[in-house]
Structure formats: C-alpha cells, structure tokens
Amino acid sequence: MAHQRPAFTAASPPLLHHPVPQHPIPSHTMRSPPPLSQASSGSAYAASPYQQQQQQQQQQQQGMPSMHNLGHGLHPAYGGFLADPAAQIGLQMGASAMKNSREYIEQNMNRYVNYTALKHYFNVSNSYVLNKLRLVVFPWRHRPWTRIPKAVGPGQVDGMFLPPRDDLNSPDMYVPVMAFVTYILLYTMLAGIRGHFHPELLGKLASTAFAIVLLEILGLKFGCYLLNINNESQLLDLVAYSGYKFVGIIGIILIQELSTNGWLRFLSFFYFFSSNAFFLLRSLKYVLLPETSTDNPRGTVQAVARAQRNRRTQFLFIYSYVVQFVFMWILTMG
C-alpha cells in the first residue's frame, strides 16, 4: 500500500492551488458491489467469504505480485487492506474461530439436549394442532385417551409412540411453545392498550411464566420420586403437558379483556381451568399410573400395589386440580 502512492502521484502531478482529491473517488459506496471486471481480476474485496478463503490460498501461493495487482484499479484503501497479510491472517483466524465455536456449540447441544427426541415433539400437522386446541378447550366428549404405540413390524411394538402428527393423544411441544409466546405477547399488548406498556413487562412475564413451568416440573419430579414412579424418559412429556395450560390462560385473558361483566370473567376462569384440569387428568394417567408395574398376581403385593395406586391417583388429582388452579390464578390475575 505504501509503494502505490508515490507511483500514483508521479503519474499526475499534484495541484497546489486548491484542494483537489488526491485519489479518484469511487462512485460506489463502501457496501455496494463493485463492477464485474474488478471481481474477475481476483479482488478479494468483491468476493463472498467463501470465495475469499480460496482466493487467499491462491494469493499466498502467488505471493507478492498478486498483492501488487490487487490494488491497481481500486482505491488503495479498499484493495489494500484486504491484501494486507496481517488482515488475511485475521480473516482466517476469525473464520476458523467461528467454525470451531459453532462445532463446539453443536457438540454440547447434542450432549445436553436430545435432538431426535425433541424433533418427535414438533412433528405436527395443521389438523393435529386444530384438533389438539379443540381438545384442550373442550375435553369432555373425547373418548380414547391412550396413546398409540408405534409398530415396528407386524404385531411388534417397541417403547416408542406415534408422533403427534398421527396420534391426537400424543403430547407435542408446538402448541405449548406457541401458547407460551402468545400469552406473553398478548398480555403485553393488552397492557399497551391500557397504556401500561413497558419493555420490562416482556421480560418479567417471560420470567414468571418460565419459573412457574420450572416449578411445576420440579414438583412433578419430586412427587414421582416420592411415589416411586420411574419415568426418566418422559421428562419432555411432562414439560409439554405443563405448557398446555397457556392455551386456557389465553382464553381467560381474552374474555376478561372483552367483557366487563364480573360473573362472566369468573365463569370463564372456572371453565378453562376445569377443562384444562380434566385434560391433564386424563392425559397424565398413562405417565403417572403405568399399568405394567402393578400387575403382580400375588395377594399381599397386590394390596400394596393398590394402596400405591391410590396414592398415585391422589397425587395426580392434586397436581391437575389444586396445583393448576394456583398457577393459572397467578398467571391470569397477577
């Protein structure tokens, strides 16, 4: 870069009368793509990051002459700084650092989050989502609540279940996640209509809702530990089921906003609460009350198993009615 400037000034002697730009000012701005002729001449300025790496290798093979050519038709400040060896090293280091960090994140994400298991929960279709929403809001007439096991071969089943796309009773993550986000946005929007909007409200609501879900999962896991229910593989199911209450909460908030009648507000709360509780009671039955663990034929063991089953049923009832009542009350009235 330093050896180009004397050559340029020698070609056109400097004028001393009034300030004249020393270099030809390019008509394009910094970000606009340069003409094709320059790009074909191997300027690193025009190339995309992927081409740049290849070109850097070429330039390193060619050595100094290519650097000299590079800044020829270009403003020296543009062509120069990319041809600078230090800048190239910096670019390469940046690219490799980005690549390494991305690989690191992917590795660790795979270690902590089971991607294939998560994908199963997002395998939904339009009709599934509509039917599921209808089921959460109006669960009273739904008849079979058992999930359909996935058939591996003819008459064979493994531990897996059909994805939500094919089975209405299967838990999914799509509806809970969407309802969660919608709840936060809706609440904030209604606060904005009333003139109480503050950006902090978004974070506050998200934190509260997330903490409630977390608390719920912790309580469920603690109950499972106390009642000797081993369902390590179904943690994601529990997360999904604890998110379905946001559908009801959205309904409650909407009705509360639209109506000024106190009775209607109360009624809507109790309707959505009871429908959600009924839905949870029926759906969680297969998680918390597994039939396979209690089919012991001996008498005394069966009595113990029956007592255990009773306790589990009580726990299920308390979870889906009492706990849900408290949480939905906090989330709607808070």
Partner 1 sequence: MAMLFWFGNLFYVAVLLVNAVAVLSEDRFLARIGWAGQQDQGFGGGDVSIKAKLINLISAIRTLMRIPLIMVNIVIIVYELLLG
Binding interface with partner 1 (CB under 8 A): 204-205, 207-208, 210-212, 214-215, 225-228, 301, 304-305, 308, 311, 330, 333-334
Tell me the closest approach of the beta carbon of residue 315 to partner 1, in angstroms: 10
Q: Are 85 and 56 in contact (CB under 8 A)?
A: no
Q: Residue 272 to residues 120, 141, 275, 290, 329: CA-CA distances in angstroms?
A: 28, 15, 5, 27, 11
63 versus 199: smaller Cβ distance to partner 1: 199
Cβ-Cβ contacts under 8 Å for 152 (sequence gap 6 or more)? 158
172 versus 216: smaller Cβ distance to partner 1: 216
44 versus 316: smaller Cβ distance to partner 1: 316
Q: How far apart are CA 119 and CA 121, in angstroms?
A: 5
Tell me the closest approach of the beta carbon of residue 190 to partner 1, in angstroms: 15
Tell me the closest approach of the beta carbon of residue 156 to partner 1, in angstroms: 28
Residue 242 burial (10 A CB sphere; 0-12, 13-18, 19+): buried
Q: How far apart are CA 282 and CA 142, in angstroms?
A: 10
Tell me the closest approach of the beta carbon of residue 212 to partner 1, in angstroms: 6
Tell me the closest approach of the beta carbon of residue 46 to partner 1, in angstroms: 48
Length of the chain (residues): 334
85 versus 334: smaller Cβ distance to partner 1: 334
210 versus 266: smaller Cβ distance to partner 1: 210
Q: How far apart are CA 191 and CA 205, in angstroms?
A: 12
Tokens of 7: 């050559």
